[in-house]
């Protein structure tokens, strides 16, 4: 055996603490080591070329690199071995940066620990075997989950590049939160004017199959070859037949809208048969089975059905399961809003003049329930308070900053002032106007006379200041009690309307989607990226990408940029036509397997099945689906399963050397 050992300085990261020369001399004395060297940056081109040259000149058959975490550069060095015509799996990395030089300033201890890691890597690599990469074909179709601005953008980019896309949206229409806004910061351009053309493009693009009112219920397979089951919930109106005349809505038994409209956040009403908003896509009504008389077995003449000329109403709709095969998946299920009821002292749902920001967005929208008028308890407000950071930057709730609330608060302040001429007071912790044009947008608000009071709101109350009865200025109003940290005083401000700027939360469906796609989340609860800086739209599962707020709070420009990036990554993947899969997977020795089947349900990737072998049932692993986690190998009572890059012998050799 001829092993080459290479010790990296990592600039000064390693060399300032670990004595690299001593490490090299130590390596030279180890059994089987033919060459040992150190270099400033092993991962650099000259560093890699050093390894390539040595493999050829010194006939090396194994390589050990002592450097950083294998997560950073294992792939880099395996590629170097490949270039020297050596099987890339005859390689082992020892992490002497994160595990040695970064955890102590003690040169002696760090060097001794590094020697132990180096030796265990040498002993382990001796037992490595040549492994061959597997190639699988990639299905050129993509599934996008979530039809907000992120999902819409990603779908359009892919479809316009000729890729077939399935866009699954759980609501009856696409558009997400952006469809609810009247104007968008920082340009105050009309949200519908920029969004609805894109929604229509989705509807009209022949490469996009739009599945609204639908949810993903099962995902099997692996990168390039996912099998996805989608449940299309009953709409009771046939999309392929409806001509969008809306006579059905007009002629519903209920003459007036009576039920809270989900799209209008409950401040508007709808009928049992309705369209969420005039520009909804698809432009097809939906029947709510909870409020429709006929679907509840009550008396109704079904006028909707009678007046529908194209015969689109279908009360027998039971929904359907649809199966699609795709090569990549983009998750864009957005965010939910913090439930303001959790902070009881702010009086949301207790006082009729306390609203959340999204409710006010609907109020301000010209196609919303009030036609764009701001009306509170039957009249225009004269004084409005906006409470920032409700649920965000709050130890008891969400500790992170939701990033958009300062800006949308300023937007709402400016729109309310423009429509009602009311005095508007913002209660803030810090104003975070971080984006392009945002500081200017904030300054404009100041110039327009909008007041900013720095301090957290303690409570919103209807309790009069003098403890007995409300003064003239307090009548019909609630009182915002806050600390002003700039004037060092307590503010008690009677107002006609309070807007709570609620923060963003991970969407409630994320747990389900996470389980289905085997994804992980960061401590804030949003989806984790493969690398927060260098790979922000990939996930830890190959072939699955993320876009928009499901990765963390962000504004529309950032959601769009990220959606384009994830579509670009998905496109790069499927354009390759086939993909190399890691060969570090588990295998079953069918002679040893007892057929107990314990491994089958334990496999998180559904890669194991029971097959007949010599007349008996035995476990078999699909190598294309195996992700090499090793759960099966460690749980097999007969020791019939072997992970080919983590064999028991390799791990034992590594531990023995460490403890020697
Ligand atoms: C009050 C308010 C005002 C704002 N104003 C602005 C502004 O003026 N300018 C700006 O830049 N930003 C603004 N934002 C931020 C903006 O809302 C987001 O940046 C943007 O909506 C993110 O888009 P998205 O597609 O990631 O998420 P979303 O808009 O949340 O869309 C996600 C979509 O996924 C769907 N979905 C969820 N779960 C599933 C599932 N299981 N299966 C299928 N589909 C699913 C949802 O129904 C939704 O359609 C504002 C935010 C708030 C709260």
Ligand 1 within 6 A of 357 CB? yes
Confirm if 84 and 621 have CB atoms less than 8 A apart.
no
Query: Rounded to whole angstroms, how far apart are CA atoms 478 and 86?
Result: 76
DSSP 142: E
Q: State pLDDT tens for residues 189-241.
A: 999 999 999 999 999 999 999 999 999 999 988 899 999 999 999 999 999 99
Q: What is the 3-state secondary structure (H, E, C) of 343-384?
A: CHHHCECCECCEEEHHHHHHHHCCCCCCCCCCCECCECCCEE
**Residue 581 pLDDT:** 83
Ligand 1 within 6 A of 263 CB? no
Record the tokens describing residue 48, joined without a space: 């890699």
Ligand 1 within 6 A of 54 CB? no
Torsion of CA 553, 558, 563, 569, to 10 degrees: -110
Residues 6+ apart with CB under 8 A from 137: 224, 225, 577, 578
Burial label, 34 (beta-carbon count in 10 A; 0-12, 13-18, 19+): middle
Ligand 1 within 6 A of 358 CB? yes
Residue ranges in the chain modelled with pLDDT below 70: none
Ligand 1 within 6 A of 441 CB? no
What's the CA-to-centroid distance between 149 and ligand 1, angstroms?
Answer: 7
Residues 6+ apart with CB under 8 A from 572: none
Burial label, 564 (beta-carbon count in 10 A; 0-12, 13-18, 19+): middle
Ligand 1 within 6 A of 47 CB? no
DSSP state letters, 568-629: HHHHHHHHTSEEEE-S--EEE-TTT-----THHHH-TT--EEEEEETTEEEEEE-TTT----
Taking each continuous run of H as one helix and of E as one strand, the counts in the chain are 16, 34
Return the H-helix or E-strand segment holding 93. strand 91-95
**Residue 189 pLDDT:** 92
Domains of the chain: residue spans and CATH: 3-125 (3.40.50), 336-505 (3.50.50.60), 586-643 (3.30.70.20)
Query: Phi-psi category of 32—alpha, beta or left, where left has phi over 0 and alpha has psi -120 to 50?
Result: left
What's the CA-to-centroid distance between 178 and ligand 1, angstroms?
Answer: 6
Sheet of 544-546: strands edge to edge? 208-211, 164-168, 141-145, 328-331, 544-546
Confirm if 147 and 212 have CB atoms less than 8 A apart.
yes
Query: Rounded to whole angstroms, how far apart are CA atoms 638 and 596?
Result: 9
DSSP 529: P
Shortest-distance atom of ligand 1 to CA 337: 53
**Residue 474 pLDDT:** 84
Helix (H, G, I), strand (E, B) or coil at 480: strand
Confirm if 286 and 273 have CB atoms less than 8 A apart.
yes
The β-bridge relationship of strands 134-137 and 578-581 is antiparallel
Going 610 to 615 to 616 to 620, the CA torsion angle's sign is: negative
Ligand 1 within 6 A of 553 CB? no
Q: State pLDDT tens for residues 247-300.
A: 999 999 999 999 999 999 999 999 999 999 999 999 999 999 999 999 999 999
**Residue 465 pLDDT:** 75
Confirm if 576 and 163 have CB atoms less than 8 A apart.
no
Query: Which of 510, 513, 555 best tests ligand 1's pocket when mutated (most atoms within 8 Å of CB)?
Result: 555
Ligand 1 within 6 A of 168 CB? yes
**Residue 74 pLDDT:** 96
DSSP state letters, 167-196: EE-SSSSS-TGGGG-SEETTTTEEHHHHHH
Nearest CA to ligand 1 atom 53: 358
Query: Rounded to whole angstroms, how far apart are CA atoms 214 and 23?
Result: 60
Q: Which residue has the tokens 């491994």?
A: 599
What's the CA-to-centroid distance between 419 and ligand 1, angstroms?
Answer: 25
């Amino acid at each position: 055996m001829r092993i080459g050992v290479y010790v990296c300085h990592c600039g000064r990261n390693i060399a300032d603490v670990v004595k690299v020369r001593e490490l090299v001399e130590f390596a030279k004395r180890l059994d089987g080591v033919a060459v040992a060297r150190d270099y400033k940056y092993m991962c650099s081109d000259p560093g890699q070329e050093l390894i390539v040259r040595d493999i050829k000149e010194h006939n090396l058959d194994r390589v050990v690199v002592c450097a950083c975490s294998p997560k950073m550069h294992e792939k880099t060095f395996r590629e170097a071995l490949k270039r020297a015509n050596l099987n890339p799996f005859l390689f082992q990395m020892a992490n002497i940066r994160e595990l040695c030089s970064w955890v102590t300033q003690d040169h002696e201890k760090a060097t001794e620990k590094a020697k132990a890691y180096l030796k265990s890597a040498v002993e382990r690599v001796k037992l490595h075997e040549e492994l061959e990469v597997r190639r699988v074909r990639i299905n050129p179709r993509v599934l996008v989950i979530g039809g907000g601005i992120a999902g819409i953008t990603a779908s359009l980019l892919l479809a316009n590049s000729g890729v077939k896309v399935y866009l699954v949206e759980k609501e009856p229409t696409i558009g997400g939160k952006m469809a609810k806004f009247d104007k968008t910061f920082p340009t105050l351009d009309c949200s519908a004017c920029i969004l609805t053309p894109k929604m229509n493009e989705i509807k009209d693009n022949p490469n996009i199959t739009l599945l609204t009112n639908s949810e993903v219920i099962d995902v099997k397979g692996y990168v390039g070859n996912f099998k996805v089951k989608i449940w299309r919930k009953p709409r009771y109106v046939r999309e392929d037949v409806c001509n969008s005349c809306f006579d059905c809505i007009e002629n519903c038994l209920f003459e007036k809208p009576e039920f809270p409209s989900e799209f209008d956040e409950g401040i508007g009403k709808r009928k049992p048969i309705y369209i969420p908003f005039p520009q909804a896509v698809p432009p097809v009504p939906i029947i709510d089975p909870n409020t429709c008389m006929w679907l509840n077995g009550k008396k109704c003449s079904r006028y909707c059905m009678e007046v529908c000329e194209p015969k689109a109403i279908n009360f027998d709709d039971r929904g359907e399961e649809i199966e699609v095969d795709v090569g990549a998946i983009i998750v864009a299920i957005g965010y939910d809003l913090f439930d303001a009821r959790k902070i009881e002292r702010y009086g949301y749902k207790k006082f009729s003049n306390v609203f959340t920001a999204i409710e006010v967005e609907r109020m301000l929208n010209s196609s919303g329930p009030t036609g764009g008028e701001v009306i509170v308890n039957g009249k225009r407000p004269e004084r409005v308070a906006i409470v920032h950071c409700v649920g965000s930057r709050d130890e008891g709730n969400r500790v992170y900053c939701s990033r958009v609330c300062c800006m949308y608060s300023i937007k709402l302040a400016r729109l309310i002032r423009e429509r009602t001429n009311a005095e508007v007071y913002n209660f803030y912790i810090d104003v975070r106007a971080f984006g392009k044009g945002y500081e200017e947008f904030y300054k404009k608000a100041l110039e327009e006379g909008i007041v900013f009071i720095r301090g957290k709101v303690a409570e919103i109350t209807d309790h009069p200041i003098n403890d007995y009865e409300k003064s003239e200025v307090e009548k019909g109003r609630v009182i915002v009690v806050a600390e002003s940290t700039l004037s060092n005083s307590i503010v008690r401000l009677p107002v006609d309307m309070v807007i709570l700027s609620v923060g963003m939360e991970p969407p409630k469906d994320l747990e389900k989607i996470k389980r289905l796609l085997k994804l992980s989340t960061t401590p804030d609860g949003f989806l984790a990226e493969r690398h927060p800086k260098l790979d922000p739209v990939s996930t830890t599962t190959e072939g699955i990408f993320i876009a928009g707020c499901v990765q963390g709070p962000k504004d529309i420009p950032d959601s769009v940029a990220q959606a384009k990036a994830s579509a670009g990554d998905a496109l790069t993947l499927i354009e390759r036509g086939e993909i190399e899969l890691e060969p570090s997977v588990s295998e079953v020795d069918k002679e040893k397997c007892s057929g107990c089947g314990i491994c089958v349900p334990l496999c998180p990737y559904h890669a194991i099945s029971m097959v007949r072998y010599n007349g008996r049932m035995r476990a078999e692993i699909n190598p294309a689906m195996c992700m090499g986690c090793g759960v099966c190998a460690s749980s097999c009572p007969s020791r019939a399963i072997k992970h080919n890059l983590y064999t028991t012998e390799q791990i034992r050799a590594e531990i023995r050397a460490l403890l020697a």
